[in-house]
Amino acid sequence: MYMYIITFVEFLMDNYFTSLENKNFFFSELTMASTQVMCSTQSHETSPANVLCRNCIETVCTRCYIDGKHKDCDVVDLKTLTSRYGKLAVEMMGLREEAKKKIKIREVLKERIDSQTKKLEETLDEHLLHLKTKLYSAKEKSRKRMEEDFKKHLLRADEQKKEMHKLMDSLTRAIDAMMDLEPDPKKSKSRRVNSEVVDLKQRAARKLMYVHDGEIKPIGRFVLANHLQAILNGDVRAFGDHHLHFVLEVKKENGKE
């Protein structure tokens, strides 16, 4: 009874692996029908493969084994491969060559991405340098406007200072004249001088009232532009935007794209 069970299990396993081989063969047949095996030589990669090189285990075109590097190799015509395993091997060689091409393409892609990265880094540096130049120019313009505005206040303070000097001189002369006069109100000269002194006193009082001392403590204040303040505040987190576009290459056929 035990031997019958073992025999039955072996029968099931044999049927399973046979069906699995049939499925794989069917899949390989479909792939072979839809995918043409190309020459593995890089310079002839657009030419279909005609023979199999047994020495290099590669599929090559007619030119490769007639006057190429495979002319001294042991080759076999692909059409003579009728066995299932031979066809499967050729198919897998084609897939291997396709994988090799994709690896080379990815290597070139990596180099191009690295090149584009360096190029954009240089562009970022150029923009930063340009921004620094523009910011310095804007800062100088703001400084000149500030100096012009503050200079007006300086001129005003100088004018008021000159007016105060003139007023002091007038008051000093009047005081000296008052000190030299005799205290006799009946004399006309005394009355005339007193009138001028009173008028000077009133003008001096008005002048001193007009020139008040509330502006003797100037405090400068600078307000940065909103868009620049936003950068300092961290509201502008990105220096700019970037994109990496992939342009599809169209293969040339007979000199035409």
149-200: pLDDT as tens digits: 999 988 988 988 898 898 889 888 888 877 776 555 555 554 555 677 778 8
Instruction: State how many domains the chain has.
Output: 1
- Taking every pair of Cα atoms in the chain, the longest distance, rounded to a whole number of angstroms, is 165
Within a domain: 4: yes
* Of the listed ranges 23-27, 67-71, 102-106, 142-146, the one predicted with least confidence: 23-27
Q: Which two tokens stand for residue 184?
A: 């006799």
Q: Which two tokens stand for residue 21?
A: 């081989």
Q: Residue type for 200, please?
A: L
Look up residue 176 and give its DSSP letter: H
pLDDT digits (tens, 9 = 90+) for 55-81: 787 888 877 877 777 777 877 777 777
Within a domain: 26: yes
Within a domain: 20: yes
Within a domain: 227: no
- pTM, 2 dp: 0.54
* Strands in 8-149 per DSSP E: 51-53, 58-60, 75-77
Within a domain: 22: yes
Task: Tell me how far the alpha carbon of residue 182 is from its chain's centroid.
Answer: 90
Q: Give the span between the Cα atoms of 119 and 113, in whole angstroms.
A: 10
Within a domain: 21: yes
The CA distances from residue 75 to 11, 63, 95, 147, in Å, are: 40, 13, 20, 90
In percent, how much of the chain has pLDDT > 70? 75
CA neighbours closer than 13 Å in the CB half-sphere of residue 150: 11
Q: Residue type for 204, please?
A: A
Q: Which two tokens stand for residue 19?
A: 């069906």
Name which of 189, 164, 165, 163 is nearest 177 in CA terms. Answer: 189
Domain that holds residue 29: 1-34
Contacts of 13 (CB under 8 A, 6+ apart): none
State the average pLDDT over residues 73-94. 77
State the average pLDDT over residues 8-19. 47
